[in-house]
C-alpha cells in the first residue's frame, strides 16, 4: 500500500503543482452508481490528522488567523499548524480571496491576495500583519530599514 507522501512525490514528477491532489484517501474500491460511474456523493471525506510537527499559535494574531483558516478551509482549528501552508491544507485561489477579505476586515488593513501565495503560512501572515499594524500606528520612526523593505515588497 502506497503512503500519501510516496504517491505525492511520484505525481509531482508527472503533473504540474496545481494539479496535485491536496488529500489522498485509500479505498479498497470506488463507490459506483447504477450507471457504473463513480458515485462522488458516496466518496469518504478526507481525514486530516494532527501532524507530528504541529505548532500551535503563539500570539493573538496567529490565533485569529488560525480561526479564519479554520472557517475558510472547514478544518478544526486544532488541526492547523502555524507552519503549514494554506494550499497544503486544501486552500485554492477562491478560498484565498475569502481569506484576504476576512483578514482585511478583522485587522482593518489592506492584505493583498499575492501575500497569501508569498506568505502561505499563518506564522508568515501574522508577521506581515504585525509589522503593518506597527508601522501604521505612528511607530514608523524607529523601524529597521529591512522591515520597511519587507512591507513594501
Whether 46 contacts 63, CB under 8 Å: no
Find the DSSP H helices in 1-137.
Answer: 4-14, 60-73, 93-107, 114-118, 122-134
Same-domain pairing of 100 and 83: yes
Backbone angles phi, psi at 48, to 5 degrees: -95, 125
pLDDT at 121: 95
Mean pLDDT in the chain?
A: 85
- Condensed to tens digits (0 to 9), the pLDDT of residues 18-64 reads 777 777 888 889 999 999 999 999 998 877 666 667 899 999 999 99
Classify 85 as helix, strand or coil: strand
Q: Residue 82's CB: how many other CB atoms inside 10 A?
A: 21
Count CB neighbours of 108 within 10 A. 9
Q: What is the pTM of this model?
A: 0.69
CA distance 4 to 78: 21
Query: Does 115 lie in the same domain as 139?
Result: yes
pLDDT tens digit sequence for 74-96: 999 998 999 999 988 889 999 99
For residue 13, the model assigns a pLDDT of: 92
User: Which residues form the domain of 11?
Assistant: 1-47
Instruction: Show the cell assigned to 28.
Output: 479498497
40 and 114 together in one domain? no
What span, in angstroms and rounded, lies between the C-alpha atoms of 71 and 25?
A: 22
Say which CATH number the domain at 36 has: 3.30.300.30
Amino acid at each position: 500500500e502506497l503512503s500519501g507522501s510516496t504517491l505525492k512525490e511520484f505525481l509531482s514528477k508527472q503533473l504540474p503543482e496545481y494539479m496535485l491532489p491536496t488529500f489522498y484517501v485509500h479505498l479498497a474500491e470506488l463507490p459506483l452508481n447504477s450507471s457504473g460511474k463513480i458515485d462522488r456523493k458516496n466518496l469518504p471525506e478526507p481525514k486530516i490528522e494532527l501532524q507530528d510537527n504541529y505548532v500551535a499559535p503563539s500570539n493573538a494574531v496567529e490565533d485569529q488567523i488560525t480561526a479564519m483558516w479554520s472557517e475558510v478551509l472547514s478544518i478544526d482549528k486544532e488541526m492547523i499548524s502555524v507552519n503549514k501552508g494554506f494550499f497544503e491544507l486544501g486552500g485554492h485561489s477562491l478560498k484565498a480571496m475569502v481569506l484576504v477579505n476576512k483578514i482585511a476586515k478583522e485587522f482593518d488593513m489592506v492584505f493583498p491576495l499575492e501575500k497569501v501565495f508569498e506568505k502561505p503560512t499563518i506564522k508568515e501572515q501574522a508577521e506581515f500583519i504585525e509589522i503593518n499594524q506597527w508601522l501604521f500606528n505612528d511607530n514608523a520612526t524607529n523601524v529597521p530599514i529591512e522591515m520597511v523593505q519587507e512591507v513594501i515588497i
